[in-house]
Amino acid sequence: MKLRCTENSLRLRVRKSDLEVLKTEGRVAQAVTFAPHQVLTFVLQSSSTTAIQSQFENGTITVLLPSQETAAWIDNQQVGLEQFQLLPDGQKLHILIEKDFPCQHVSETNFDDTFHELVPPSE
């Protein structure tokens, strides 16, 4: 799973193996260690929420997905899920979760864990 953050925007890109873990365990997590006791963890978790939402607590970004929507998305050809979460100060946080496709500008020898058989939306 990959995390990309820009101003008021979170984007998670998940591999096939990540979706298998999400499907069987209900959550998938990754961590970046900067130093001892300085870890940024990001989690994608199926939940009883009614809309995609995120939380940040104790160095962990958690993106919660409605369980019914998650199950359907894992098993279909839909590339991504998107939500604009209203923040307490009136701003919005853009949340985008996408199936991972191989990079077009980087030559990779192993495409087994990307969704290359799906066609990403044209821009």
The ranges assigned to domains in the chain are: 2-99
- From 91, 71, 48, 31, select the one nearest 81 (Cα to Cα): 71
Q: pLDDT tens digits for the chain (123 residues)?
A: 999 999 999 999 999 899 999 999 999 999 999 999 999 999 999 999 999 999 999 999 999 999 988 888 888 888 899 999 999 999 999 999 998 876 655 555 556 666 665 555 554
The CATH label, of 3.90.550, 3.40.50, 3.30.1360, 2.60.40, for the domain at 2-99 is: 3.30.1360
pLDDT at 53: 95
Sign of the alpha-carbon dihedral angle for 71, 104, 102, 61:
negative
Within a 13 Å sphere around the CA of 3, how many CA atoms are in the beta-carbon half?
Answer: 16
pLDDT of residue 70: 87
C-alpha span between 75 and 37 (Å, rounded): 37
- Quick one: pLDDT at residue 106? 57
Start-end of H helices in 5-114? 16-25, 67-74
In the chain, where do the E strands start and end?
2-6, 9-14, 27-35, 38-47, 53-57, 60-66, 80-86, 92-99
Q: Copy the structure tokens of residue 81.
A: 């899920």
